Chain A
Amino acid sequence: MTTNPHVSLLSRRTLLRGASSGFGYLAFAGMSTWAAEKSGGPLAPRTTHLPARAKRVIFLCMEGGPSHVDTFDHKPKLASDDGQAVGRGRAAGAKLLGSPWKFRQYGESGVWVSDLFPEVGRHADKLCVVNSMHTDIPAHPQAFVQMHTGIFQFPRPSLGAWTLYGLGTENDNLPGFVTLCPPVNNGGPANYGSAFLPAIYQGTRVGYNNMPVANAVVSNLRNPKQSVSAQRAQLDFVQELNHQALERDQVNPAVEGVIESYELAFRMQGELPKVMDLKGESEATKQLYGIDESETDDFGRQCLLARRFVEAGVRFVEVCHGGWDQHRNLKEDHAKHALAVDKPIAGLLSDLKTRGLLDDTLVIWGGEFGRTPYGQFGNGRDHNNKGYSIWMAGGGVKGGLTYGRTDDYGAEAVENPVHVHDWHATILHLLGLDHERLTFRYAGRDIRLTDVKGKVVKGILA
């Protein structure tokens, strides 16, 4: 009865324990619940469809649409034709705008990176830059939701929720999907929601993008009145009552579920603040991420938190830096945003590498679309969904690779185009999940992240 999943955190072991008292196992066998189909409960680690190249994901989400032609898509012709009228279609009369930044080749691979990202540039040999991304709609709300859920027309589970559904979690004391500082608009919670998937797969939100992550709190994590020992005493009492109820009922999976979930809740409130407390990190590490420097502090903290979360076994972590929407003042504002994230990202990549985590952690950088090669209001750029860049690093992707190509100006993907669906299919593939087999039956259909589309981009797999 997948339309009404009575999901509880019952582990198979708990149920089998119950079996000794007589009928627990029958209860288990008879429970027509989705939970029962997954041995070990809904969050237990699962066997993957394919060999997994990455075990976890950090998504560096750049909300607003960072300009590809000013960051990772080097367009010499755009620079040389600066000021020329494009003269066609909607852009009639609009003039090409050469990038105000110089591009350089980095590392042994010679990947082109602009002067907006000098620190990230140093990691060029780890980056797999895809310059031929495209998406359906050049408007933030639709494109942002599509980037997260595959389609924007209907409520659908987010990428993180699908990942958690497919892989389960490795730490029972923490949520499996954490999103830091997501935007309130552009779909809001839909971007980390579980839609029709059981609620347990939805992202746990920490903060919002309009306030510093240092001030963010997870709701209900701390009791405003009781000490921990007082609360433990209270919880023991609650559990005593629940156990009495269970004994009275003999078999009651629902009550067992409540008992289990309270224990997890108690562990989570102990564990989550610890993971979120940066005090134990060395000064050197903090410096590496740019923490305590005013420009980079916020995103630095987000990146460091992301590392701490994945290290602790969280499956999918998303961090967010918004504001890349430069219809005007490209030069000042893109510089400001790039400055805010460049060092923290570079720090994250170094740190993951040092700790041996990069090999099986997939790091993704990107926004909902790119920007036009022609100018807008003289000193800005408009949205461009037909061609833009993202990059990936770590688990299972070829480092030092530049994949796909836009035309000479960066207007449109022309070689090896990669649609958002393809990108999703590839991310799942790297995690060992076949995007055509990772389905959930809803409203009579087996629904998947990639709808009826998506192709794994084989060319970027290591």
Chain B
Amino acid sequence: MRLVPLSLGLLCVGLGVCLGQENAAEKRQRNPERAFQIGDADLDGRLSREEYRALTAYAPRLKASPQMAERIFTRLDTNRDGFLTRAEYAKIVELRPLMPGPNAPSPAKKARKAAPTAKADAPNTPEQVAFFESKIRPALVAKCYKCHAATAEKIKGGLVLDTRAGIRKGGDTGPAVVPGDLKESLLIQAIRHTDDALKMPPKEKLSDAVIADFERWVKMGAPDPRDGKAATVNKDIDVEKGRQFWAFQPPHKATPPAPKDKTWARTDIDRFLLTRVEAKGLKPVDDADKHTLLRRIYFDLIGLPPTPEEIEAFVGDSSPTAFENVVDKLLESPRFGERWGRHWLDVARFGETSGKQVNFNYPHAWRYRDYVIAAFNADKPYDRFVKEQIAGDLMPAASDKQRAEQIVATGFLAIGPKSHVERDPLQFELDLVDEQIDATSQAFLGLTVACARCHDHKLDPIAQQDYYAFAGIFRSTETCFGTIPLIQNNNSSVLIPLPKDSGQRPGMEPLSPGARKELQAQINDLRKTRTTLLKEGKLQGSPQGNFTGVRLATLLARLDLFEENGTPKKLAMGVRERSKPEDSPLYQRGEVDKPEGTVPRGVVRVVSRSAPHISQGSGRLELADWLASRENPLVARVLVNRVWLHLFGQGLVPTPDNFGAAGQPPSHPELFDHLAVSFMDQKWSVKSLIRQLVLSHAYQLGSRYDAKGFEADPDNVLLWRMTPRRLEGEALRDAMLAVSGQLVLSPPPGSPVSRFGEGPSQVLQRAGAFDARLNCRSVFLPVIRNSYLESLSLFDFPDPGMIVSERATTTVPAQGLYLLNNPFVIRQSERIAEQLLAKPDGDSTRILLAYVRIVNRPPSDRERKAVEGFLASYPSAASGESSRSTKDAWTAFCQALFASADFLYRN
């Protein structure tokens, strides 16, 4: 039976063939579960003899030897029922020796590592020394020392070639020279330029003669008369020095300065700002008029325009607390969380499909979205909000409801984009962890820790070791992201069932008995088709076979979304502890087949001196506590900066996603620290922070141009005025719906994605145009990665695979085409026109009302004249009927207001 192990290996490996994929990692891909899933053609949870035989077709040697294949079947079928259960089939791995795992060095690798020490150098003969001195040393000096010698300005790849020890020890990738062994000598490979990844010297190939000299030299045992120890390449990051950087210094509350103008400042923020404005010889511009201010605070706090009544009330209210009252009312509105939750969802790269090369649905992702909105509405203390997203599952909970909420919060770690097609489970795991590190470090710390996956961070004092310490925490965590095994989905997982009294919304209508019956019938039909295809040998590799398989699996998954009685199961994406926490090796160059040692689980050292002690468990809870602590100099600053950015148009740190060396320092360091400290003092309340900012005098300034201010500070860094901003796609769409009276404020159940269920997202994408079909607020529209909703993406909706604190603002013709031609925009304009014309008002009142509703202020005389001129001369689109053409003209007018810069911008 010597052949058996090999054949069985192939039985599993061969499965890659049916998917038409293979990669370097296929050796690790001997996964009986996967083979079982593919083999189980009728999905009855067991392999019939026929299915088993079909499976063996992928293992050429077994195919060639049916007898052996039958013997194996018999051996596996321990209960002799003629079928292989999952458990029985899984024993197949025991019929062969274990494959070397990623952590066990392969024999070849061992040999390579052992070689240099195992073979003692024989003394060099004079001829050998002469050869070295005449042929080898000059070439090394001329071609290699610049980057690979102790004298080099920067030693590349950890390799020094100026000593014998150095050349034998080699660099990051292994010994440069193994005496007598051309194949194992990386230097030889490098100079031959045969390996794309390793070509030295990088820009020019050495002449054939020189290469031949090196080969001869290695063959003769690489005689090397040079002495001296291999210079230890000091790659350690100086953490202590790194901590001197401003962002890693703890924030301190400073005493606000006293500006010259004693009357202007209303709050400490104003005192900090005005002092700087004065220092530049400038003066803040006049305050915004009441219409502008009201529109500003409405869009900034709830993302919707004020109604004509609200405008009238505010304009007519001359009490000193008029503005403050509006602010407090808006902060209490449920619309607040919908607006500010969306800002966080940009940061959390929220999406409801996997994105990447093959896009699978995440039908339960919306729960995280709802969690975020609720958290902002409830003014959940930000430190708690941070902790729950990292370790909510590990935090105590007083009720099932709270427990469910905290589990859903950890969806933050599960909703990122993923390459489900990846065939190497280890690669998938490391990529998943990498994405989690990237999201966690950027979202909470404003640091790009993920840069240190393959090498020490090039700019920030973050070592590769820090990265793998972090990675160990997430590798000891099980990420539950769902999806089902399908063609092109090689990585799926369970989801987390929520506790019974979770209080969570179901997200879907129940499944009626009739619908269940219909679903079951479809499933049965597909099973039959599948069996037929299997018999005809057309199941694998044919479009029909693929289609049937996918359809069957998605329908089964759909059925699985409901309890027996038809109520939808309540499931969440999230994380939980693995049974056995483990430290991660450090992967050289981030390559999965280059593990090295282990790095104890931990946090990024440079951020603070108070590193948590992780003894048991993954360390996630310790990480969460560390992240959200007052000792952490970044977490409050990063959040304060984002809030500032959403209200003032640019961050005090202009690079909100990067607080490292590649970012920019704060424009107002004392003010910034002052805010960070008071934010923490006010129990991390985001609402209090917002209130504090918008009640400043600076926030209430006009946005008018001022020649002197422009000359001295064109970017308005000093805040001598309010910076006007283009509204986001969500605000524009929601405002159009609100003004036309079509906006549905109650959130729809769950998400359209949950109704489409598991499977590839193409069906969902084809359904498309949810933004035109649904009249809910934009935050509740599905976020389908790689396929965005037009009304949002045209106005710079961020890539939901990226962590984005600050959206881009582009002005492109496609936006004009949308506003001028899109049926959605025309429909809203029509509604307003109808409403305006339905009342017995005169045109003058109608024009006023249209202006107040759409741009939230009365028109100027000139504007009124322009409107009257337009309405009088607008060509009647339909000939004849005058009421029709009147409506057309008013529709065109309302649409023109939607397209005007006054609507698109908030001043």
Contact = CB atoms under 8 A, between A and B. Distances in A.
B814 A7 contact: no
Nearest to A144: B357
A231 B459 CA distance: 53
Interface in A347-380: 376-377, 380
A258 B817 contact: no
A265 B813 contact: yes
- Max chain A Cβ within 10 angstroms of own Cβ: one of B20, B64, B707: B20
A453 B196 CA distance: 9
Contact of B654 (A1, A225, A251): A1
Interface in A42-76: none
A425 to B, nearest CB: 13
A245 B901 contact: yes
A443 B448 contact: yes
A6 interface: yes
Contacts of B862: 244
Interface stretch (A23-31, A105-113, A309-317, A396-404): A23-31
A31 B419 CA distance: 40
A254 B905 contact: yes
Given A30-B714, A138-B21, A238 B359 contact: no
A291 interface: no
B655 A3 contact: yes
Interface in B698-740: 704-705, 707, 710-711, 714-715, 724, 726
Contact of A242 (B64, B724, B901): B901
A380 B545 CA distance: 15
Interface in A193-250: 195, 198-200, 204, 219-227, 229-231, 233-235, 237-238, 240-242, 244-245, 249-250
Interface in B797-835: 799, 801-802, 806-818, 820-823, 826
Contacts of A185: 358-359, 760, 762
B521 to A, nearest CB: 28
Interface string A255-290: 101111110111011000000000000000000000
Interface string B887-907: 010011101110111101100
B821 A223 contact: yes
Contacts of A230: 874-875, 877, 888, 892
Contact of A265 (B707, B726, B788, B817): B817
B540 to A, nearest CB: 8
A199 B799 CA distance: 11
B662 interface: yes
Interface in A136-194: 137-142, 144-145, 152-153, 155, 184-190
A443 B358 CA distance: 25
A5 B714 contact: no
Contacts of B504: none
A141 B14 CA distance: 20
Given A145-B357, A155-B802, A241-B902, A328 B875 contact: no
B166 to A, nearest CB: 25
Nearest to A226: B877
A198 B811 CA distance: 10
Interface string A430-452: 00000000000001110000000
Contacts of B357: 139-142, 144-145, 152, 186-187
B459 to A, nearest CB: 6
Nearest to A200: B812
A234 B817 CA distance: 13
Contact of A231 (B421, B762, B820, B902): B820
Interface string B310-335: 00000000000000000000000000
A84 interface: no
Contacts of A4: 806-809
Interface in B525-566: 537, 540-542
B13 interface: yes
Interface in B666-693: none
Contacts of A249: 704-705
Interface size class of B (residues with CB under 8 A): 35 or more
B866 interface: yes
Given A240-B866, A244-B866, A443-B658, A188 B787 contact: yes
Contacts of B710: 23, 26-27, 30, 251
A200 B810 contact: yes
Contacts of A189: 786-788
Contacts of A186: 357-358
B860 interface: yes
Given A30-B715, A187-B357, A200-B812, A269 B654 contact: no
B817 A328 contact: no
Contacts of A219: 790, 817, 822
A382 interface: yes
A459 interface: no
A405 interface: no
A56 to B, nearest CB: 20
Contacts of A257: 811
B53 interface: no
A28 B14 CA distance: 63
A238 B817 CA distance: 13
Given A221-B817, A444-B658, A226 B892 contact: yes
A26 B708 CA distance: 11
Contacts of A184: 762, 765-766, 787
A301 interface: no
Interface range on chain A: under 10, 10 to 19, 20 to 34, or 35 or more? 35 or more
A145 B121 CA distance: 50
B799 A90 contact: no
Nearest to B662: A444
Contact of A444 (B13, B660, B787, B801): B660
B579 interface: no
A377 B20 CA distance: 11
A295 B153 CA distance: 63
B873 interface: yes
A252 interface: yes
Contacts of B16: 90
B874 A234 contact: yes
B814 A220 contact: yes
Contact of A327 (B541, B662, B821, B874): B541
A32 B713 CA distance: 11
A93 B811 contact: no
B67 interface: no
Contact of B875 (A233, A244, A453): A233
A235 B812 contact: no
Contacts of A142: 357, 419, 421
B548 to A, nearest CB: 15
Contacts of B812: 7, 9, 199-200, 261
B624 interface: no
A145 B417 CA distance: 15
A325 interface: yes
Contacts of A100: none
A92 B896 contact: no
A83 interface: no
B213 interface: no
Given A27-B710, A93-B63, A231-B820, A138 B23 contact: yes
B799 A252 contact: no
Contacts of A145: 357
A391 to B, nearest CB: 22
Contacts of B895: 234
A328 B542 contact: yes
Contacts of B540: 377
Contacts of B20: 138-140, 325, 327, 376, 382-383
9 contacts: A27-B710, A137-B23, A155-B799, A187-B356, A195-B799, A241-B901, A242-B901, A244-B863, A265-B815
Given A139-B23, A254-B811, 13 more contacts: A5-B810, A142-B421, A187-B786, A198-B808, A219-B817, A227-B875, A233-B875, A234-B895, A237-B867, A249-B705, A264-B813, A383-B21, A444-B658
Lowest 8 A-B CB distances belong to which pairs? Answer: A93-B60, A30-B714, A141-B357, A444-B662, A265-B816, A265-B813, A257-B811, A327-B541
